[in-house]
């Protein structure tokens, strides 16, 4: 697939307080893209957070919250900061264009719009966005196991914490440790240890297989699974995870838990309140992981 093909089939958010302007832009884009629209700044920010458009076409002059304020709000959020924003406005002075670019816009189109120009500018920004997404994905992925790395996990936790806080929905964290992994490496060698990490990570992906589930290598032989679920859902995933690792049947002669590779899991869950507090969720899950190890490993323990 070429980058020209990738520049089509994007999700485009049009933000304008005049329906006739939205209709003009929609007619220019609907043949190649999935088009969303909002008629005020607050609604645009909400859609951007929940539906993650690939490109935003934003009117500068709107009542209550103008395009510059919307652009700045989107740029300060980790969820929306990478979405290209094209200002579409009747303002045309160099000062207006400079103000839009300073606010974080990627491009600037003046009204009345030319449909061919709109399509070309959107394709350009969509191509840049998707190239950037590919590179970003590489920086957030653990090279050995293929799951998210610690940086990817930290970003996902911040994003999901804020989303759950806004929605008032629960968030669960599982911290997982491969039992007696240092002994495994000493007995079978580091190459076998790397293979073991890969197979366990794949088992975790099978246990937490929904698109919204985040599986990450937290460090060394420790993994994390982030779920948009309450305690019952987290407990179900923990049981599946232990079952999937059991099915691997990887021999581990030096384990005190069982003669095969096993895992211990600590679970914590809560409904986030406010933008901060994710560190406390990690601390509680880690305390439960310690408890699972103290009770003999090859099990999960859940925060009460």
- Round to whole Å and give the CA distance between 266 and 290: 7
CA distances from 302 to 57, 139, 173 (A): 46, 32, 10
Catalytic residue among 221, 243, 273, 304: 221
Let me know the angle formed at the C-alpha of 47 by 46 and 52, rounded to the nearest 5 degrees: 120
- Round to whole Å and give the CA distance between 213 and 223: 13
Q: Contact, 217 vs 145, CB < 8 A?
A: yes
221 in catalytic set: yes
- Round to whole Å and give the CA distance between 3 and 124: 10
Q: Which of 221, 140, 127 is nearest to 178 (CA)?
A: 221
- Round to whole Å and give the CA distance between 234 and 103: 41
Beta-carbon contacts of 70 under 8 Å, excluding residues fewer than 6 positions away, are: 15, 41, 44, 45, 58, 62
Helix (H, G, I), strand (E, B) or coil at 85: strand
Alpha helices in 140-220 (DSSP H): 150-167, 181-188, 190-207
Please, is 248 exposed, middle or buried when counting C-beta atoms within 10 Å of its C-beta (0-12, 13-18, 19+)? Answer: middle
- Round to whole Å and give the CA distance between 100 and 95: 9
- Round to whole Å and give the CA distance between 131 and 7: 10
Residues that are catalytic: 221
């Amino acid at each position: 697939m070429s980058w020209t093909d990738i520049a089509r089939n994007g999700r485009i958010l049009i933000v304008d307080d005049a329906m006739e302007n939205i209709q003009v832009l929609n007619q220019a884009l609907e043949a190649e893209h999935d088009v969303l629209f909002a008629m005020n700044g607050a609604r645009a920010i909400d859609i951007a957070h929940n539906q993650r458009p690939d490109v935003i076409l934003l009117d500068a002059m709107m009542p209550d919250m103008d395009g510059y304020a919307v652009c700045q709000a989107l740029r300060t959020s980790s969820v929306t900061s990478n979405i290209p924003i094209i200002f579409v406005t009747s303002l045309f002075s160099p000062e207006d264009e400079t103000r839009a670019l300073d606010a974080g816009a990627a491009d600037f189109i003046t009204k009345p719009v030319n449909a061919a120009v709109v399509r070309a500018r959107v394709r350009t920004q969509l191509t840049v966005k998707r190239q950037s997404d590919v590179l970003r994905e590489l920086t957030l992925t653990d090279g050995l196991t293929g799951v998210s790395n610690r940086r990817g996990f930290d970003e996902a936790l911040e994003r999901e914490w804020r989303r759950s806080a806004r929605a008032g929905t629960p968030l669960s964290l599982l911290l997982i440790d491969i039992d007696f992994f240092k002994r495994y490496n000493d007995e079978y060698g580091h190459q076998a240890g790397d293979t073991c990490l890969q197979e366990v990570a794949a088992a975790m992906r099978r246990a937490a297989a929904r698109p919204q589930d985040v599986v990450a290598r937290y460090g060394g032989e420790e993994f994390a699974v982030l779920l948009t679920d309450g305690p019952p859902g987290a407990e179900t995933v923990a049981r599946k995870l232990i079952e999937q690792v059991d099915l691997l049947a990887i021999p581990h002669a030096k384990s005190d838990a069982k003669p095969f590779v096993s895992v211990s899991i600590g679970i914590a869950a809560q409904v986030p309140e406010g933008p901060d507090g994710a560190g406390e969720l990690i601390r509680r899950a880690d305390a439960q992981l310690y408890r699972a190890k103290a009770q003999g490993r090859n099990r999960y323990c859940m925060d009460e």
